[in-house]
Structure 1
Amino acid sequence: MQFDRAQEELTQSLEMARSIDHKRYIALVSSILARMYQVRHEFDKGVTELERAISIQRNINDEEGLAYSYVLFGKLFYSKQNYDRAIKYFDLAADYFEKHDNEEQLGLIDLNKAILYMNVPDKRDLANNLMDNARVRLKESNNNYELSRWHYYKARIHMLEGDYAEAEKVAKGALGIAQGDGFIGMTMYSYGMLSDIAELRNNPQQALEYLKKANAVRDEVFDMNKEALASETNERLGVDALKSTVDELTIQNAEQERTLKVNKLTTILSVALITILSLLTLSLYKNNNLRARANELLQKKNSELTLAKENAEKASMAKAQFLSTITHELRTPLYAVTGLTHLLLEESPTESQKEHLNSLKFSGEYLLSLINNILDLNKLEANKVEVVNSTFNLEKRISDVLIALKNSADEKKTKLHFKFDESIPKKLIGDPLKVSQILINLIGNSIKFTEDGDIWINVKKIKQQDKNVYLQFEIKDNGEGISKEKQKAIFENFTQGSTQINRKFGGTGLGLSIVKNLLSLLDSEVELESELGEGSQFTFDLKFEAPEGEIVEKPVAPSIDESKLTNDIMIDKRILVVEDNKINQMITRKILEKNKVICDVADNGSIAVEKVKNNHFDLILMDIHMPGISGIEATIQIRKFNEEIPIIALTAVTLDESLDEFYLNGFNDIIPKPYKTEEFFHKINKYLAARETTV
């Protein structure tokens, strides 16, 4: 009941923090909720709350809050027995505390890592060393609760090593601190440990006495959980500050109400006085009534407008959620359509059948393009897209985009010409993914409306000021062109140059809208120059940073000339397909076996891990959502004993703001389903070729 009441109070605090839009306190209350869920062993709920807190803390650059959240994340993953991730988050917190010379918090991190390693036999020496480091760092600490924890777990290590006399001595130290400061839970655990030690030392009478004392305080523990949680979070994270802010706002509100009452009384007295002094009182009274009715009507209209605004926001959120859900659900059946179409085209159909299958293939690819565009636009309009800066080679990034679009250009008999200013630094700091999306949409748009023509892609440096590099991008074609009256509307959703163009070339009219939104996110805008029948030119400017010195990037794989890759490299290669959907299994397997691949299938992640342990494979195609362990968890387990094998996520999940979670957990690349077979083979061939080079 105490926990339920505490959770209710925390929920109310979260609502108050949201009502005043105080980001730091929203993150704070989420962290407290996460801590409470950890105590209640509801670890998944704790992770969810903590992810919300960390997301806000990153946005507001609250480094101190992040450090404490990382510590709690480490404890949560330790509770879930995910020791590798626990250590990772403890180390992230340690980085912050080392930077600020916070010896006490570094000591607590050493203590938590020692507790983690003490249960791993071959890591016990490391646990002992960390315990010693923690003791040194905590020597000036007044945090008696953590000091009692240190004695308790140090005694546990002595027990595991068989040194029962020393274990009893240290355990009594833990008990003394716990009793002195009224730590009931730690007192109970210390009595329990002393009982275990007495039993191991063949002293059953003393063991029984300690056990009775442990049971005597056990019933008090649960009543203290709420107070202990409130005390710890008040001390560490400052819940009192949130209450103080809310109280202050309440006082201000009451003061305003008192002021309004005084003003109202003054008005009434004034009207009474004027009534006595003048015959104009009646006229004034009527005017006041009219004004009051007008105010009442105005308030009513304001309430209606507020309600309408809230309903519109709810409708917008519902639309965004619906679009995200329905487009995701369309991917799985669409994968079957495109995959089976590809297989049928490979089986020597008649000319009539081939014509129908090509139409089906075109429709599937068109539908996939529509789904992807709607997802991109939906994320942009919902403000779910963030700028993620990293160091990259811009010239290579654009070359990769042109390689990906070359087949489409060849089908249109259109030539691509690329000119890159040699004075531009080799390495730049910016968002490479957003740059790629903008160029893919603009160049893809030019290819679509240019047949048997030319497209020029020019990048030049405008100026460079200190670290800032200003570049101009120009995409020019000699295709259909856009009429003057349509040039402003062309960047709106679902808009195209004309009805005739829509009938001739198809498309949704979303590509240029996505370009406009992405450039707005990067503090830029696109300019268009075009004449109907004479082609179009799109121009935009972007600002990048030049990194200090030459950054040497560690290559993921040896350099491969991707333009020369062929499907011959797949012959006799062993590929494992991890997929629980039988139709998807059959499609992927047949596509691979058509190219003489030796293909094996695993129905879930557990089977995949065992097969990789006992067999040799050249590459793994891994689904994400499966019964049992997920594809991410299976990849984590495989990486523990095999770091070299390429693992590609072959999945229909919606890839939101960041792909970091996939790469951090061991994936080499991602192929979203459904896919174009050219992209599918290109990525498989690239990693097979890279692996042959390293063998």
Structure 2
Amino acid sequence: MRIKLSHSKIRILLGVLLLFIFLKSAKGQQIDSLQNDIQSYFDRALQYQNKNEITLALEALDKAAELAQQKEDIKAWIDSYHKMALLYLKVDNEKSSVFFSDRAKGMLEEVAYPYGDAMQKYLEAIRLFNEGKNYLAIFSLEEARQLNNDRNFFNNILLTEGNIYLKLEKFEDASKNFNSLVINTDLKEKDYLATRAHLGLAKLHYTTENFEQSAIDGEKALKLAVANGFQNEMLEANHQLSQTYERLRKYDQALGSTRNLMLIQDSIFTVEKAKIDAKTADKIQIENMGDEIKRQDERIEDLSESANRSEITAILTSAFLTIISLLAVSLYRNNQIKLKTNDLLQTKNNELQAARDAAVSAMEAKTNFLSTVSHELRTPLYAVTGLTHLLLEENPNDSQKEHLKALKFSGDYLLNFINDILQINKIDAKKLEPLNIEFNLKKVLKEVIDSLQQSAKANKTKIILEYDEEIPGHLMSDPLKLSQVFMNLVGNALKFTKNGEVKVIARLLKKEEEDVTLYFEVADNGIGISKEQQENIFEGFEQGSVQINREYGGTGLGLTIVKSLLGLFDSKIRLESELGEGSSFFFELKLKSKDSVIDDIPFEITERDYNFKGLHLMIVEDNKINQVITKKMLTKKEITSDIASNGTEAIELAKNNEYDAILMDIHMPGISGEEATIEIRKFDKTTPIIALTAISLDDSLESFYAAGCNDVVTKPFKPEVFYQKIGENIFDKKVTNTA
């Protein structure tokens, strides 16, 4: 049966449809607006808090909590309560801080939110510190650090940790933390963190009776505090300077600091302001308590509706108890049998526990052994690869050139092997965690493909990128580890494919607000993998067969690394392959997108040729052979250099000379490269410092940057990478500073 609609009815239906679309769009815009407002209130509260404007900070956070509740954004709601708890701790209101912290804790039981869990641990650490339980506080801070790697959160942990170390008189550790914050690049609290760091250093030097340095840091803290309106920090700085100048017998300056202290106290701590702050704090807490009571009343009302069912429940309960009493004797007998069984199980559990402990100890021993061996091999390998490079550039005859190329190939192979072992070792030891930074996926994939084009040409194979342009241009994840995944997958495909093609596929599966699900695939038409070999292909040192290993080479660790790295992202690698037909490796990843960021920088980055002539560098290296090799590599580019054999010499040379850059070895006897960098940064904050290190299992790139290094090059390195890093950190930095 056909239904006829008049023109008027059609117009009405179209009107309703358009209204529905408009309302849905308006709702989406309203939610986005609320989210932006929440963040703006958080940012405003942080500014007010650092300026000791407690009333304004509390009002901003209360507004943020109200908007989060309105939007039903439980994570933002948790964040607002955590920030209130921190603010109440700042004004020594422990009771109110615990109230908001407990409310956030209750909400965290309903949602998976690592940042919220980290903040809970951070609040716990501050309370433990306030109670004098310093070691427990450090333990809680470490737990918080493991749960989240947000830059601002990490810097605040460093600051709190530094204050705890100062209290424990661990001055070296405290100094390291404070110095790393003096030159911090925090996007939210750069000046505030630097001010607190200078105050920490001023107190540290005062305690260790280095009064001159204490005065320097105190004045720097005061200057930053005055420039930014940090009232509490102005107070602390003047108080510290007053004490310090008195110990230096500079009584006029001590008197000036005391007068400033009294003036600031009078302006900040007025009775009227204290009343307003207290009134606002009490009002906000009472309102929140009222909301909580209201929610509990609603819950009780819901429960009361089931009261009529209680009589039936009582009758059923009576019958049930009768049955239970009849079964009691039987259960008692069964319980006696269970007790005997439990004793036997306990014995077996103890045996299993002992066996597990032995296995864990063996695994730790293996991990430490492999880490030590792989690290120690890098130093002689640096000599092998470096000397080979130098000899190849000295116009050897044809027969020598063949031998040198073979030596270079062997050195590169051994280096890749060592890197693979160290990578697996770090993952097994749980010392590798994914970052969460902004990146462009298409740029990452193109860079991987470009770096492997030489291998593709050697096998007469094409690499094809099929990229879904619907994928957001700005994603949040760990681009370095994703590059390693694709380097291994594409490199593996090229190794087993000749006169063919390798496809790299990236597709958008789903996008809901900022949550993005992507599909990746690396497919080839190479030799393929049999069904039997597929079962073990992701295990370490597996390549299918001995014949394949001999013909194609390699360690068989590439796919193991891929599997382990994807495990860090809660993803699994899958495989489809037919012998003689080719192979396809595919997986899915869940990421966050940053749609609001405008991509105004093209991602095609061209390599630059730098003119190094006339540069003067310092080489900090304790190994004599490495000194000679590095100096010769610099001389090839007409770069002059001085050599420091240890950290102490490096500090003295940096004080008495000007260098265009410093090449800093990290592992040295006596003062390490990190410690030397921290000392140099006290009087020289501009000279680029590039860490040259054979990274071991316990090394952290984060700690190198925190110490003041501008970049890191791992030894042994490729010469082109070495020169590129020098050029980037000297010339590109100058261009940036000029601009």
What's the TM-score bracket when you normalise by the shorter of the two chains? 0.5 to 0.7
Q: Using a 3 Å threshold, how does the CA distance of structure 1 residues 549 and 487 change in structure 2: closer, same or farther?
A: same
Q: Deviations over 1:280-323 (max 9, x none)?
A: xxxx9xx9999999876655443322211211111111111211
- From 481, 485, 507, give the equivalent of 1:434: 481
Q: Deviations over 1:581-621 (max 9, x none)?
A: 10111122223333444344332334334445555544432
* Residues 1:562 and 2:606 are matched in the alignment: yes
Gapped regions of structure 2 (runs ≥ 5): 1-119, 190-194, 263-328
Q: Using a 3 Å threshold, how does the CA distance of structure 1 residues 686 and 536 change in structure 2: closer, same or farther?
A: farther
Q: Distance in 2 between matches of 1:91 and 1:570?
A: 28
Q: Deviations over 1:230-263 (max 9, x none)?
A: xxxxxxxxxxxxxxxxxxxxxxxxxxxxxxxxxx
Which sits farther off after the overlay, 609-618 or 646-655? 609-618
* Residues 1:71 and 2:160 are matched in the alignment: no
Map of 2:23 onto structure 1: none
Q: CA deviation at 1:522?
A: 1.0
Contact 1:578 1:621 in 2 (8 A): yes
Map of 1:584 onto structure 2: 626
* Residues 1:679 and 2:721 are matched in the alignment: yes
- From 505, 524, 542, give the equivalent of 1:495: 542
Q: Distance in 1 between matches of 2:622 and 2:660?
A: 21
Map of 1:86 onto structure 2: 178
CA root-mean-square deviation: 5.1
* Residues 1:374 and 2:461 are matched in the alignment: no
Which sits farther off after the overlay, 585-594 or 128-137? 128-137
Map of 2:383 onto structure 1: 336
Q: Deviations over 1:174-196 (max 9, x none)?
A: xxxxxxxxxxxxxxxxxxxxxxx
Q: Distance in 1 between matches of 2:176 and 2:712?
A: 23
Q: Using a 3 Å threshold, how does the CA distance of structure 1 residues 425 and 59 change in structure 2: closer, same or farther?
A: same
Q: Distance in 1 between matches of 2:660 and 2:612?
A: 10
Q: Deviations over 1:472-517 (max 9, x none)?
A: 2222223332223212321111111222211101111111011112
- From 410, 423, 434, give the equivalent of 1:387: 434
Q: Using a 3 Å threshold, how does the CA distance of structure 1 residues 610 and 528 change in structure 2: closer, same or farther?
A: same
Q: Distance in 2 between matches of 1:329 and 1:50?
A: 36
Contact 2:619 2:643 in 1 (8 A): yes
Structure 2 counterpart SS, 1:494: coil
Equivalent positions of 1:205-354 (< 5 A) are: 299-354=346-401
Q: TM-score, normalised by structure 2?
A: 0.60
Structure 2 counterpart SS, 1:368: helix
Aligned residues: 534
Q: Distance in 2 between matches of 1:590 and 1:81?
A: 37
Q: CA deviation at 1:461?
A: 1.4
- From 251, 258, 283, give the equivalent of 1:162: 251
Q: Distance in 2 between matches of 1:580 and 1:500?
A: 44
Equivalent positions of 1:378-417 (< 5 A) are: 378-417=425-464
Q: CA deviation at 1:137?
A: 6.3
Contact 1:569 1:688 in 2 (8 A): no
* Residues 1:360 and 2:407 are matched in the alignment: yes
Q: Distance in 2 between matches of 1:691 and 1:108?
A: 28
Q: Deviations over 1:383-420 (max 9, x none)?
A: 22222211112222222323333343344443333333
Q: Deviations over 1:558-601 (max 9, x none)?
A: 999434x45x7445544432211101111222233334443443
Q: Distance in 1 between matches of 2:597 and 2:166?
A: 35
Q: Distance in 2 between matches of 1:621 and 1:598?
A: 13
Q: Deviations over 1:436-481 (max 9, x none)?
A: 1211111121222233443222222122111111112222223332
Q: Distance in 2 between matches of 1:364 and 1:112?
A: 47
Q: Distance in 2 between matches of 1:113 and 1:464?
A: 48
Q: Using a 3 Å threshold, how does the CA distance of structure 1 residues 81 and 664 change in structure 2: closer, same or farther?
A: closer
Structure 2 counterpart SS, 1:536: strand
Structure 1 counterpart SS, 2:452: helix
Q: CA deviation at 1:34?
A: 13
Q: Distance in 2 between matches of 1:495 and 1:81?
A: 44
Q: Using a 3 Å threshold, how does the CA distance of structure 1 residues 543 and 352 change in structure 2: closer, same or farther?
A: same
- From 627, 630, 636, give the equivalent of 1:594: 636
Contact 2:121 2:144 in 1 (8 A): yes
Map of 1:625 onto structure 2: 667
Letter of the structure 1 residue corresponding to residue 606 of structure 2: E
- From 141, 156, 162, give the equivalent of 1:54: 141
Q: Distance in 1 between matches of 2:399 and 2:172?
A: 59
Q: CA deviation at 1:637?
A: 4.3
Contact 2:425 2:697 in 1 (8 A): no
Letter of the structure 1 residue corresponding to residue 163 of structure 2: V
Q: TM-score, normalised by structure 1?
A: 0.63
Q: Distance in 1 between matches of 2:596 and 2:215?
A: 45
* Residues 1:455 and 2:499 are matched in the alignment: no
Q: Distance in 2 between matches of 1:655 and 1:71?
A: 28
Contact 2:241 2:254 in 1 (8 A): no
* Residues 1:542 and 2:589 are matched in the alignment: yes
Q: Distance in 2 between matches of 1:109 and 1:644?
A: 19
Letter of the structure 2 residue corresponding to residue 620 of structure 1: I
Q: Deviations over 1:37-65 (max 9, x none)?
A: 9xxxxxxxx8xx97655322333679899
Q: Distance in 2 between matches of 1:317 and 1:85?
A: 29
Map of 2:305 onto structure 1: none
Contact 2:674 2:704 in 1 (8 A): yes
Q: CA deviation at 1:543?
A: 1.4
Structure 2 counterpart SS, 1:500: helix
* Residues 1:651 and 2:698 are matched in the alignment: no
Q: Distance in 1 between matches of 2:379 and 2:421?
A: 17
Q: Distance in 2 between matches of 1:464 and 1:71?
A: 43
Contact 1:570 1:595 in 2 (8 A): yes
Q: Using a 3 Å threshold, how does the CA distance of structure 1 residues 151 and 505 change in structure 2: closer, same or farther?
A: closer
Q: Using a 3 Å threshold, how does the CA distance of structure 1 residues 371 and 129 change in structure 2: closer, same or farther?
A: closer
Contact 1:114 1:126 in 2 (8 A): no
Q: CA deviation at 1:531?
A: 2.6
Map of 1:191 onto structure 2: none
- From 478, 481, 493, give the equivalent of 2:528: 481
Contact 2:128 2:137 in 1 (8 A): yes
Q: Distance in 2 between matches of 1:681 and 1:114?
A: 40
Q: Distance in 2 between matches of 1:465 and 1:610?
A: 57
Q: Distance in 1 between matches of 2:542 and 2:686?
A: 47
Letter of the structure 1 residue corresponding to residue 355 of structure 2: A
Contact 1:71 1:90 in 2 (8 A): no
